[in-house]
Structure 1
Amino acid sequence: MKNMTFILVVLMLFLIPGPAVIVTISQTIKGGKKNGIVTGLGIAFGDLIHTFAAVLGLSAILMTSAYAFEVVKYIGAAYLVYLGISALINKTKKVGKPTVEKMNPNLSFRQALLIELLNPKTALFFLAFLPQFVRSDSYPVTIQLLMLGLTFVLMSIIYTTFIAFLTSIIGEKFLAKTNQSSNWIGKVAGLVYIGLGLKLAFQTQE
């Protein structure tokens, strides 16, 4: 029963657009469907690492140490702002037909992974969220936490892949309407990154 409740709660959380969804959408629009899928995989891999950290108790450091929380938070915020500024100052060449910018999938994966890893709220989320669905009459706690975390990661991959496909379809139709879209899409993505970075910077530990 708790497993089904866990799945339903995660689905509800996915319905609320968060940084993972925003980053996936912006990267899909910038670099295409494959780029969006790879971004989702990077986010999921970051969540997987957070799961292992929560299981091993490493995330507890972020909850008890205000200094550790602040360090990780500002590193993550600085990285997001850096990505945003880079996107804003990047000059997009004008083309005769609307095309998406070719991006290195490995770079997209690494960027998404770092964004997810350097968000202390994610670590605290896994530490606080997963134990709520542990059953006393089931497998050892460690095994249950791993299973819950892996379930979350798998659902995240499916969800971000769906988002990438949907954004790709809508994006292609939208890009076909104007020859200048590729110029401002990068700027919008840059503003999104900066916004996420500032939001992360002003988050508190509570």
Structure 2
Amino acid sequence: MSLAFLITTLIAVATPGTGVLYTLSAGLAHGRKASVIAAFGCTLGIVPHVLATVTGLAALLHASALAFEIVKYLGVAYLVYLAWSTLRDRSELVVDTAVAPASARKVVVSAVLINLLNPKLTIFFVAFLPQFATGFGQMVTLSAVFMALTFVVFAVYGVFAASMRDRVLARPRVMVWLRRFFAASFAALGVKLALT
């Protein structure tokens, strides 16, 4: 494993995207535990992309414009849905850690769908991994490193957001604007994906 691979992977993972936004949102809305669960779900959502890359299905997706467009627009639809549901959410956020506003299952499913329906990940793995991997075993190892870095970086983002909850939740007006920001960000990422 080269230093170039680690640096490139870290840059790719740390650059905010839909997974980071979702993890930040989970941390602010539901606390540290939810943010770590969201980071885990986003990492789990990478597994199908890794499997597709390792088995060669990603090359088929890359070669078939129709298959790519279907996955792309499913991703766009899900981001628009996230934007809409975030904007419509009027539930009170509770700082008490004994109260869990969202189930772990719901957080994981949403996080997995975010990355599962992200065709950029598949393209990233198709274009990126072959430059560093010479065989099946090395491809699996590098994919595992990518996933581990994803989990750690996303969890750090989420735990940081969760640590800001008390300050943010003390001001209901700030929460209204944060919800609008996250909704607008999900919508903007959906539009960006649609135009890619």
TM norm. shorter chain > 0.5: yes
> In the aligned structure 2, how far is the partner of 1:196 from the partner of 1:63?
21
> In the aligned structure 1, how far is the partner of 2:174 from the partner of 2:70?
37
Which residue matches 1:7? 6
Which residue matches 1:153? 147
> In the aligned structure 1, how far is the partner of 2:102 from the partner of 2:186?
17
> In the aligned structure 2, how far is the partner of 1:6 from the partner of 1:130?
9
Residue 191 of structure 2 is aligned to residue 192 of structure 1: no
Displacement of 1:99 in angstroms is: 6.7
Displacement of 1:190 in angstroms is: 2.2
> In the aligned structure 1, how far is the partner of 2:49 from the partner of 2:19?
14
Displacement of 1:153 in angstroms is: 0.3
Deviations 1:89-114 (A, max 9, x none): 23234x8x867971112111111111
Residue 157 of structure 2 is aligned to residue 163 of structure 1: yes
> In the aligned structure 1, how far is the partner of 2:108 from the partner of 2:166?
22
Equivalences, count: 194
Runs of 4 or more above 4 Å deviation: 97-101
TM-score for both structures, normalised by structure 2: 0.89
Which stretches in structure 2 are left out of the alignment for 5+ residues? none
> In the aligned structure 2, how far is the partner of 1:13 from the partner of 1:105?
26
Secondary structure, aligned partner of 2:91: coil
Secondary structure, aligned partner of 1:195: helix
Greater mean deviation of Cα atoms: 60-69 or 16-25: 16-25
Contact (CA 8 Å) 1:21, 1:160: kept in 2 or not?
A: yes
Contact (CA 8 Å) 2:36, 2:155: kept in 1 or not?
A: yes
Q: Which has the larger radius of gyration?
A: 1
Which stretches in structure 1 are left out of the alignment for 5+ residues? 136-140
- What value does the CA root-mean-square deviation take over the aligned residues? 2.1
